Amino acid sequence: MLDSFRLEERVAIVTGASSGLGIAFASALAEAGADVVLAARRADKLKDTAKLVEDLGRRALTVETDITDPAQCARLAAVAISEFGRVDVLVNNAGVATAYPATRETTTQFRSVIDTNLNGSYWTAQACARVMLPGSSIVNISSILGLTTAGLPQAAYSASKAAVIGLTRDLAQQWGARRGIRVNSIAPGFFATEMTGQYNDGYLEKLSSRMVLGRIGDPKELAATLVWLVSEAGGYVTGQTIVVDGGITIT
């Protein structure tokens, strides 16, 4: 049974791999046995993630990529195929978050979030699906803010993450039987990352009453869910949004 969680001879692409959850995802995939293609706009920071992957005995490839550009997404998939010969897993993790009151948010600010979180996920999934073989898996990283609210003015972010959930369902039904590609999403709650470190003092403490487990999450707990979803162990799961939030959405 435990062997069904292994990812030997698999190749995974992780976007947004230069920081935060992207690092945790890349490390977990490597620990499970996958070689990892690391994509982000900050190419210099990808070197640190690559070292983590290589220290786990797996191969790493860094590709500077702006996922808002469909041509760069296509190049990312092409480089992965050229280097490793296959793409088995895509983790659409790259994203941006803003917090502007809706009456003051500019069109540029709103469109920038949508262009990265929603459009970028679509362009990358599209590019990878064109080269993926049956048995492959795509996981889009959404957020509990696509399902609920958390006290901040985040219309653009919430809208983009809710849209990612809808995108996941549609791609799952398009690519399931026809292409043999499973597509799921994960909706994380609050995890200890660079992003949560930027919240104002007292914000997470204020939310603690909604955290059934009474704490923010460890990125390794989220990464474990990812490994399950993309492995054979999750082979009959598609079109789903898996909430990993310590219970916030049930309060």
In the chain, % of residues over pLDDT 90: 86
Question: What is the reported pLDDT for 199?
Answer: 65
The tokens describing 157, both together, are 């972010």
Domain definitions of the chain by residue range? 2-245
- Which pLDDT belongs to residue 209? 77
Q: Which residues contact 192 (CB under 8 A, 6 or more apart)?
A: 216, 217, 218, 219
Q: Is the pLDDT of residue 204 over 90?
A: no
- In this prediction, residue 16 carries a pLDDT of 97
Average pLDDT over residues 10-14: 98
State the DSSP H helix or E strand holding residue 123, giving kind and residue range, or none if neither: helix 121-129
Does pLDDT of 202 surpass 90?
no
Reported confidence tier of residue 197, pLDDT bands at 50, 70, 90: low
Q: How far apart are CA 226 and CA 74, in angstroms?
A: 23
Provide the pLDDT confidence category of residue 8 given band limits of 50, 70 and 90.
very high
Catalytic residue, from 122, 157, 199, 203: name it: 157
Tens-place pLDDT, residues 142-186: 999 999 998 889 999 999 999 999 999 999 999 999 999 999 999
Confidence at residue 24, expressed as pLDDT on a 0 to 100 scale: 97
Q: What is the pLDDT of residues 15-73, one digit of tens each?
A: 999 999 999 999 999 999 999 999 999 888 899 999 999 999 999 999 999 999 999 99
Beta strand segments in the chain, E = 11-15, 35-40, 60-64, 89-92, 137-141, 182-188, 241-244
Q: Model confidence at 198, in pLDDT bands (50, 70, 90)? A: low
State percent of the chain over pLDDT 70.
Answer: 97
Give the mean pLDDT of 96-124. 97
The whole-chain average pLDDT of the chain stands at 95
pLDDT number for residue 196: 62
The CATH homologous superfamily for domain 2-245 is NAD(P)-binding Rossmann-like Domain (3.40.50.720)
Catalytic annotation on 157?
Answer: yes
Q: Please check whether residue 11 is in contact with residue 35, taking contact to mean a CB–CB distance below 8 angstroms.
A: yes
Contact 165, 187 (CB under 8 A): yes
- Report the pLDDT value the prediction gives residue 1, as an integer from 0 to 100: 82
